[in-house]
Amino acid sequence: MAPTRSQTEMKKEEQENSPPDRRQLKRKHVAVEVESAQLSGDKWHPPNWQEQLKNIREMRKSKDAPVDMMGCEKISDDERIDPRVRRYHVLVSLMLSAQTKDEVTAAAMSRLKARDLSIENTIKTDETEIASLIHPVGFWKRKATFIKQTSQLLHDKFNDDIPDSVEGLCSLPGVGPKMAYLAMNVAWNKVAGIGVDTHVHRISNRLGWVKRPTKQPEGTRKALEEWLPTELWGEINKLLVGFGQQTCQPVRPKCDSCLNQSICPFGRKQTGKKAS
């Protein structure tokens, strides 16, 4: 005669033979996904980013945005001058460009260059005169102070040249990460990181090029550098700045004529297009 099984044994057998509930299946599925991702070493990439980039290049092929004609590269493209003076011009133009349109920055640089802009001459020039020359750039009084202080430091600590590192550039009054990365690229021809201004910050969030929305340009820079191939770092600032000046503007963006309207999260909302 077979021995009588206890209720505990019967309950255990029932649990072993019953199918797993949905929560158990979900946990196992997630675990497998995480494990496979870790094994493959895949990085996060935004969907459609390569097509989006291709379309932006197509829309920017004429290179006729203000940044193309009046950006720091154009302002400092005179190869006849001393390389150290040229690098100084790059830095000063970047310092002036913060919260200022390219047209206004270019005009201020023209006035400074007409007075033979150099570290030595800036040190000799009264701060009020510098302020008068750069007006009406944004925060012109504060920038005049920064330019005066920075010029003195370049003379005292950097042998009348600009620093050749991001850390050195950021140690100067009025110079932040965006300016430092752009100065490294334009002045020293070294790509140390992505220069992110308000245009690059805005467009990266609109396109979905950041894993989660970012609030500040520095956060956007770090998010972009996590996935964007390094060979594109030197190109991306000027490309997106011009795109932001002409098409993906902060107010009344031209989504209807944008080639990315159906593959851009922001553009789809603006035009009512469905994802392609």
Which residues are the active-site residues? 178
* Cβ partners under 8 Å of residue 39, min gap 6: none
Q: Which helix (H) or strand (E) holds 170?
A: helix 166-170
Alpha-carbon gap, residue 176 to 30, rounded angstroms: 41
- Closest Cα partner for 219 from 231, 232, 204, 207? 204
Alpha-carbon gap, residue 230 to 239, rounded angstroms: 15
- Closest Cα partner for 178 from 129, 124, 238? 238
- Closest Cα partner for 111 from 81, 144, 133, 85? 133
Q: For residue 21, with 0-12 CB atoms within 10 Å meaning exposed, 13-18 middle and 19 or more buried, which class applies?
A: exposed
Alpha-carbon gap, residue 94 to 78, rounded angstroms: 16
Torsion (CA) 83, 87, 88, 90 in degrees, nearest 10? 140
Alpha-carbon distances, residue 269 vs 85, 102, 209, 255, 264 (angstroms):
48, 30, 16, 10, 9
SS3 category, 70:
helix
